[in-house]
Structure 1
């Protein structure tokens, strides 16, 4: 999975600009799906037909990453910008960016300032050009963080956009390893989760799943001064019970936990104040029974997110085991 994650995180794919990553993933999964579709919003649907057509299960991992969008070009060739998805100001100064057109720049703030304003109005992008006419981008162009992926240890990995390329990698591996299922499985690589969640919302509306599971990341609690968060890297995927927009379905929660225990798959339970595609899937149309499987991650929404790849491997094993077998009676 390490090489796959490196390939996925190397792509710049901010919200609304997921086409390049979509093509990379499509190439990876084509031999393993019964049907593949890309819808009008750019969501990539991979379908595995089951032997029992009674249950439809949707999985969702988002292809987009946080980024910036240019709002103005100033004299000297500097670009002003705003968020595309939520970026913390503290992480911006001296960060490198790469635009979807290949242009590279770095972020700084006005000389008299000591921190980035909440609205980012004192931050700018420097391309090293002498004049406004030499600026390589225009209003509306988008960029993401730029930097190398780094293998820190045998299992610890650092890169930009691990949120949510690790979820995409898990779903790719699931498609490769899931040989047979009694269910109709819709594995969806969604768009614009960081911006509005519209990709998961429209996909769930189209699929009308009985059960929907979001595959994403969750802030790890094993950092200095972290409080009220027992989640750690390397102790298994997180079955996220609650976040700002979702309470997971009790039946799905028990299915996840019971499967993990029965198959000696390590797992953790977690609660967070962020959100995933589960929020929109749960409330679309008549609703669905939702769950969340999240990979513990340090330094979320920075150019240097860190995970333990063993947590992702356990997540794949959990999903393959679950989806190879019948769902519990209370979810039928």
Structure 2
């Protein structure tokens, strides 16, 4: 693994569920400090990195947070009851390991059920190996938050890890920051908080920045696995330019900007229509009097699982495409 992907390994393995982004934010700060003119952290916890210019004000948003679980109760035998933070599936979570901020590891188990169709989070618990409630409370208390615990792994051209949603977007933004040679635009790279809880960080950051244009960098699902839901996005066929999701109809001018840039530089790309979900651009585009917005999406299998998967080719082409977009003299 080269040094570039060493960074992605650190990003994915760092703890950072929604509302607990401090560690991942510090990692990003250290990585980009020599490539920006100014950095600040707003009241919500968004990290805003600025490359100054006199042209169009562009906000590039990648969210730092990942899905997780929050402790709601501890029983007399030391088992933890929990609720979700973001889109956590009971079926995907069963038998998985989770990690708390202090490094405590637990395993997700379930009560006995005759019918697995009735499996819900309130029928599940986290086992941290405690003897009783008092023992468990030495390590964990009500309100503590955990994320999935899974190591970064390469599979030929693919990468699988937890939290690629959206540490891969953060990685692409960081690498783009490093590569941009000359841009007349005023660039605001925003590493947002609490996207998984409703695009919260992007909403407040966009209000404060008041950009002329918004681009989110996030993952999207694929239709290329056996008997998958039909979708015209595949792993390894290029980054996807979003047409629509449940939070956004991409602005025609932003969509054209992205497509034309890809064509001009012969960068492979796909077009994405997502029938569910949303990204930070869903909040950005309705800020103040409106912000023309779009999304650069990374095809990702097994989204919201501990083993999300992306293609290195798609990632590298996304970095090239975003760099070329931001180096243009953007006029909407």
TM-score, with length taken from structure 1: 0.96
Distance (whole Å) between structure 1 residues aligned to residue 13 and residue 56 of structure 2 = 36
Q: Give the number of aligned pairs.
A: 326
> 2:145: which partner in 1?
142
> Which of the residues 177, 180, 183 maps onto 1:181?
183
Is the aligned partner of 1:279 residue 2:287? no
Render the CA deviation track for 1:75-122: whole Å, top value 9, x for unaligned: 110000000011111101100000012111000110235537565110
The aligned runs of 1:30-109 (5 Å cut-off) are: 30-50=33-53, 53-109=54-110
**1:73 Cα deviation from its structure 2 partner:** 0.4
Distance (whole Å) between structure 2 residues aligned to residue 204 and residue 148 of structure 1 = 33
Is the aligned partner of 1:10 residue 2:13? yes
Q: Where does the alignment leave 5 or more consecutive residues of structure 1 unmatched?
A: none
- Aligned partner of residue 124 in structure 1, secondary structure: strand
Distance (whole Å) between structure 2 residues aligned to residue 38 and residue 130 of structure 1 = 42
**1:144 Cα deviation from its structure 2 partner:** 0.2
> 1:224: which partner in 2?
226
> 2:217: which partner in 1?
215
> 1:325: which partner in 2?
328
The aligned runs of 1:194-205 (5 Å cut-off) are: 194-205=196-207
Render the CA deviation track for 1:187-219: whole Å, top value 9, x for unaligned: 000000001211000000000011000000000
- Cα distance 1:130–1:114, how it changes in 2: closer, same or farther (>3 A)? farther
Distance (whole Å) between structure 2 residues aligned to residue 317 and residue 75 of structure 1 = 55
**1:243 Cα deviation from its structure 2 partner:** 0.2
Q: Do the aligned residues in 2 keep the contact of 1:60 with 1:188 (CA within 8 Å)?
A: yes
> Which of the residues 161, 164, 178 maps onto 2:163?
161
> 1:256: which partner in 2?
258
Q: Do the aligned residues in 2 keep the contact of 1:59 with 1:186 (CA within 8 Å)?
A: yes
Q: Where does the alignment leave 5 or more consecutive residues of structure 2 unmatched?
A: none
Distance (whole Å) between structure 1 residues aligned to residue 267 and residue 11 of structure 2 = 26
> 1:122: which partner in 2?
123
> Which of the residues 305, 313, 323 maps onto 1:302?
305
Structure 1 vs Structure 2 CA RMSD: 1.1
